[in-house]
Amino acid sequence: MSSVFYKSVLDLEFRSNRCYDLVPFDRLSTAYREAYADLQKDPDFFGILLPKNHTSLGVKSACRNVASLFYSLQEAGPLPHDVKSVLEKTGEGSVRELVLDGILEMKWNGAFLSGADAHPFICESTLSVSAKDPLAKLSIAALTYAQNLEINEAASLSARLYFYNRMPVTPEWKAMFSSTDSILRHVTPSGGVNQDVLEKHWAKVSKRPSHDGWMVWRSRQKRASLSESTGTYKLYLSPHCEFLQEAFSAMLDVLTEVKVPIFKIGSDVYGMLRPDKMVAYFTNYEELQETAHKIGQKLQGCPAHGVPFTSNLAGDGLLSWGVDPPKEHQQVLGWQERQSWRLWLTNRLATYLLLAKAAHSGHLEPWQFALDRLRMDGVDTENWRPLQTIWEKGWSREEE
């Protein structure tokens, strides 16, 4: 893909995207005020950007800085002097993001562009996907699959991305994993070591709405509890479904030894056939890495299933990791699910795919645009690692 990268973005002319209405919170309809009530907890929250007819743009919340800029650029022109002065010191990333997200349009060769149409002129694509990493290739396969679906709603497209690589439910699998009890019997045979270890060292957590589809255990041994104020590190163990018992045994041995606070496995046939079927939780990456190394030694040669949008820890994709957003960055509304690492990613990727599919120029594939835009959110999309800047507060935020 050829790209004409414009290095002085701050010198361009801009205008607010005429396909959006910016509505202050107190002027929203009752339905919108109820849906977005929790956003008022943020003192910087101003209102909602509502697309007029272009559903691919998505609904976005706007902070006071974005609202001020949006109002000031109702007529095309250069950036306001005070905004430009700040961005000359802090960097141009915020303006690039506003253009790529379709909130602002930039003037280029006499035309106003935004979204993927503007990408070649304000971004240098650094796309590089390792041919040796099976999880990176799996993630790209998920994106190319999703971009070809006839789905124009972000939540539905995100779900397709999230569940990519789940094995189909056959009569054989359905009979083997017909209930929670049948799964427990499979991974902890009666009288076996696994059953004894679970009963002695782990307490099964009572069913909660957030545990839907999962069996969750908490360690009986004293250990620092997970903090919601920092990102929770997650270790994914993804064996092929025919090797669940061996994988569970190895994981249970190591998690008990290192006193991991919490782990979970799927509680039904759908949970057992999803790639992220076994998950352990950690307070820091170093403990996660050490634990993964010990599990990997016990499971050498175990065929991997593979979890898309996670960072590979073993060359074959058997073990991988991610980090859930800390509590203050969850931004969960009453009708939204609490965001895990993978859901946080797929929600954004779905939005960016739809933006790119609505573009007119066809400068690049939608999946390529989605990766480049996600990189601006603080994700190393070559190996799906979170960057240090990932939870820094941005100018705007996708809501749908």
Mean pLDDT of 234-243: 96
Asked if residues 306 and 134 have their Cβ atoms less than 8 Å apart, the reply is yes
pLDDT for 273-297, tens place per residue? 999 999 999 989 999 999 999 999 9
Q: Please, what is the average pLDDT of the chain?
A: 86
pLDDT for 293-328, tens place per residue? 999 999 999 999 999 999 999 889 999 999 988 755
**CA-to-CA distance for 378 and 305, rounded, in angstroms?**
27
Query: Structural domains in the chain?
Result: 9-128+329-398 (no CATH), 171-305 (3.30.2430.10)
Mean pLDDT of 61-83: 93
Q: What is the pLDDT of residue 126?
A: 61
Q: Is 346 helix (H, G, I), strand (E, B) or coil?
A: helix
pLDDT for 247-282, tens place per residue? 999 999 999 999 999 999 999 999 999 999 999 999
Q: The dihedral of CA 152, 153, 154, 156: what is its sign? A: negative
User: What is the CA 71 to chain-centroid distance, rounded?
Assistant: 31
More confident residue, 53 or 281: 281
Nearest CA-CA partner of 396 in 109, 1, 47? 47
- Half-sphere exposure of residue 362, counting CA atoms within 13 Å on the CB side? 0
Q: What is the pLDDT of residue 16?
A: 96
Residue with tokens 């509304």: 333
% of the chain with per-residue pLDDT over 90: 62
Asked if residues 58 and 353 have their Cβ atoms less than 8 Å apart, the reply is no
Q: Is 121 helix (H, G, I), strand (E, B) or coil?
A: helix
Beta pairing class for 104-108 and 111-113:
antiparallel
The answer to whether residue 396 scores a pLDDT higher than 50 is no
The answer to whether residue 39 scores a pLDDT higher than 90 is no
pTM of this structure:
0.88
Q: How far apart are the first and last CA of the chain?
A: 30
Report the 3 state secondary structure along 128-150: CCCCCCHHHHHHHHHHHHHHCCC
Asked if residues 9 and 36 have their Cβ atoms less than 8 Å apart, the reply is no
**CA-to-CA distance for 289 and 310, rounded, in angstroms?**
14
pLDDT for 188-226, tens place per residue? 987 678 889 999 999 998 876 556 789 999 999 866 566
Please write down the long-range contacts of 166-174, taking CB distance under 8 Å and 24 or more positions apart: 166/270, 166/273, 166/274, 166/275, 167/241, 167/273, 167/305, 168/273, 169/269, 169/270, 169/273, 173/241, 173/269, 173/272, 173/273, 174/269
CA-based radius of gyration for the chain: 23
Structure tokens at 230: 């920092």
Q: What is the pLDDT of residue 333?
A: 39
pLDDT for 149-196, tens place per residue? 999 889 999 999 999 999 999 999 999 999 999 999 999 987 678 889
More confident residue, 238 or 33: 238
Question: CB atoms < 10 A from the CB of 62, how many?
Answer: 26
**pLDDT bucket at 86, cuts 50 / 70 / 90:** confident
Mean pLDDT of 81-105: 88
